[in-house]
Amino acid sequence: MGIFHSINTSASALTAQRLRMDAASSNIANADSTRATQNVNGDWEPYRRKMVELQPKEQTFQSLLQTAANQSESPGTGVKATKITEDQEPFKEVYNPNHPDADQNGYVQLPNVDPLQEMVDMMSATRSYEANVTSINATKSMLMKALEIGR
């Protein structure tokens, strides 16, 4: 384990949490977008909620085996975003016959975005981001104290 291992681990988490915040803010911004993409038939579809998938940076067979055997001497190596997926929940349907995107029955399909859930996700990502900044600052402080000992 190197001297900057904990800073690199926290830095990878900062990047991942920033991506989560970006996805949540994009979801909130498009919560009312009824024409986001065109399907294969040429019809417009509402915006679909985006979700970020995270996983450990390095997941080798040996690291998994050591963890399973409870003999892991090396700490984690951080986190990375593997992909951004679209939520496949059905769209919300609201009766509004005056809307330009209403079907023949007067129903409009709205995005499958719940602003409350997005705010919770954003708060969670923000708290994780803050915790990693605190971790980096603590590590930086310890390294500075170690340098002061050498004077």
Structure tokens at 125: 């990502």
Q: Is residue 103 a part of any domain in this protein? A: no
Q: Is residue 81 a part of any domain in this protein? A: yes
| Environment class of 82 (CB within 10 Å of its CB; exposed 0-12, middle 13-18, buried 19+) | exposed
Q: Is residue 142 a part of any domain in this protein? A: yes
For 31, other C-beta atoms within 10 Å of its C-beta total 17
Tell me the pLDDT tens digit for each residue of 67-124: 667 655 556 678 888 999 999 999 999 999 999 888 899 999 999 999 999 999 999 9
Mean pLDDT of the chain: 88
Q: Is residue 105 a part of any domain in this protein? A: no
Q: Is residue 41 a part of any domain in this protein? A: no
Give residue 64's pLDDT band: very low, low, confident or very high (50, 70, 90): low
Q: Which of 67, 58, 75 is nearest to 7 (CA)?
A: 75
Assess whether pLDDT exceeds 60 at residue 55.
Answer: yes
Maximal C-alpha separation, the chain: 80
Q: Is residue 23 a part of any domain in this protein? A: yes
Helix (H, G, I), strand (E, B) or coil at 80: strand
Q: Is residue 37 a part of any domain in this protein? A: no
Assess whether pLDDT exceeds 90 at residue 61.
Answer: no
Beta carbons within 8 Å of 46's beta carbon, 6+ residues apart = 33, 34, 35, 36, 91, 109, 110, 111, 112
What residues make up the domain containing 11?
5-31+50-86+113-149
Q: Is 138 left (phi over 0), alpha (psi -120 to 50) or beta?
A: alpha
Q: Is residue 138 a part of any domain in this protein? A: yes
Tell me the H-state helices in the chain. Answer: 5-29, 61-68, 115-149
Number of domains making up the chain = 1
